[in-house]
Structure 1
């Protein structure tokens, strides 16, 4: 039985990837910072996986020594380990680049067969954004390492659309730009299949761009979230120059928040549409979130 290390296993995608590897007969070692999170469902309906993982390895990307031997006895390393929201005194460079680099060095030391990494679709158009640059700096390290690899580049997760849903719950959505840029986000379960396929295939496909089955404008996405909640859509469009100005000012006093804002501002200017795959529909995801929301009342 082959063994896989799933780094970032408590996050949205990591849970689905761990589940998909397990379903295909792998022994799964989950690398997480907070093991307790594995026992409960995630905020965007991602499954609890405490009962399906075979081992838990506790490590923190900001403490690179804690990642030592994470890959011992492992055949494949999969990493979606990264900074997903602003944290005090923590940067994307520390986690997305240097944390993953430490993991790669450990994988090389222990003779891992292949390393699968999650980066960003359209990265070449966003290299001035800190979080994207950190991803791509690690991709460069991975390519130079000699390790067999695949880089999977999704357009965005359904969990990202979950943030739109959270704003729609308030009854009012503020959106940068005119909202006519397009995206085809992908559900974690569908993306997990692509990731595990990449792990099991030979070395022919090293860069994999992928999106979900349906393409929407941002306006359509937010309207769908309002409708799932039974609310009349109320969207206020904010000129891009306001976002640029807010980003400039934020950079002086909170670089972590500015890094996240920079990604949001940049994405608001771009179409992010990749080759389509999967069966999960965004409208169903929003309806499921609305049903969960209703049961909490």
Structure 2
């Protein structure tokens, strides 16, 4: 048994030396990254870099993004959050970039919200930029709907063709799960058509197109969407057809056709009644002829019975 101790000690020493060599090799590999993190106060230790590689996390990505965040003043994000987002398949660099833009613009955005938006497949950088610099949407969008205008009819029957430009800002809190740009276009379009229809005269709309914008904004069309509507501006409005007159003309034509059909029905009934009366007249004439034919027979029978005598 005592003879085995030197072998065991030698084996343990060999394993220890091997582990030290492996660690030193890994440390040497990430020594430059550790120096960068240390000099930038990113607070990422050498052991963390080694363990990152064992967890299949690319240390250079974590170090670069955390240095960028720390230099921008975002010091409260733990290294584990970077690693977790990387392992979840997110774009760490994009999230940090968006957080820096939001921080500079003094827009409230935390790591969890930004990471969730990124993992949901939304472009977090574009969303933050739209929060800083509002986006203008054409309503309707000819590329999507194929229609150049929104057509509404005022109460006086005149059709109005309108185009609007909607200025929106991203609502970061509702970006995950919120309705998209297409919903905003649909709601604004519906609101404009409804606002035109509620006006007593088309002249009222032409004289003050902002009446439409005020009515649409009062509806709160941006609820449960990923955007907040900043303003709605009527870019163009034209007079279309006199829908009311056309509908009245169509109704008049329909009434004429109905009256003609009823008159034709009454004429047909009159003709049928006349034919029925003629048939009854002929039937009665036939009965008279039959009755007249029975008179000589009755007279002959009376003569034969002696009840009728010649005077």
What's the TM-score once normalised by structure 1's chain length? 0.18
Please tell me whether Structure 1 or Structure 2 has the larger radius of gyration of its CA atoms: 2
Larger relative contact order (Cα-Cα within 8 Å, sequence gap ≥ 6): 1
Structure number having the greater helix percentage: 2
